[in-house]
Amino acid sequence: MEKETVIIHVAGSEYSILTEEEPSYVEALADTLDKDITAIVQANRRLSMTQAAILVALDYADKAAKESEAADNLRGQIKEYLEDSARYKMEAEVARRDVERLQKELKNAKTKPF
């Protein structure tokens, strides 16, 4: 994908971003960031924009770390499910073979005289 320049506005400042992402995606991210910084500044007017941006960045980093951990847990669960599935498939195959063997033995027993 080709890189494109996108102009965004965050906390009263304009930024020119060079990205391979869709402009609408980058603009949506910037809009969310702007709203989050603005909300923190409005809640505590003594904070500078830099301080608010750092608090928002810490919140985003926390969310990203927790989501990454959750994704790792899900990957682990999926791996366990796949291992269980493979084990059950193998057990089903063994059971199928046992059924076939027992059916043959039963057929042979019915055809043999006592």
Q: How far apart are CA 81 and CA 73, in angstroms?
A: 12
0.85 exceeded by the pTM?
Answer: no
Note the pLDDT of residue 110: 86
Report how far Cα 90 is from the mean position of its chain's Cα atoms. Answer: 30
pLDDT of residue 81: 97
CA 37, CA 51: separation in Å to the nearest integer?
9
Taking the C-alpha atoms of residue 93 and residue 88, their distance in angstroms, rounded to an integer, is: 9
Eight-class DSSP state of 4: E
Share of the chain above pLDDT 90, in %: 92
Each residue of 42-72: pLDDT tens digit? Answer: 999 999 999 999 999 999 999 999 999 999 9
pLDDT classification of 112: cutoffs 50, 70, 90:
confident
Would you put residue 102 in left (φ > 0), alpha (ψ -120 to 50) or beta?
Answer: alpha
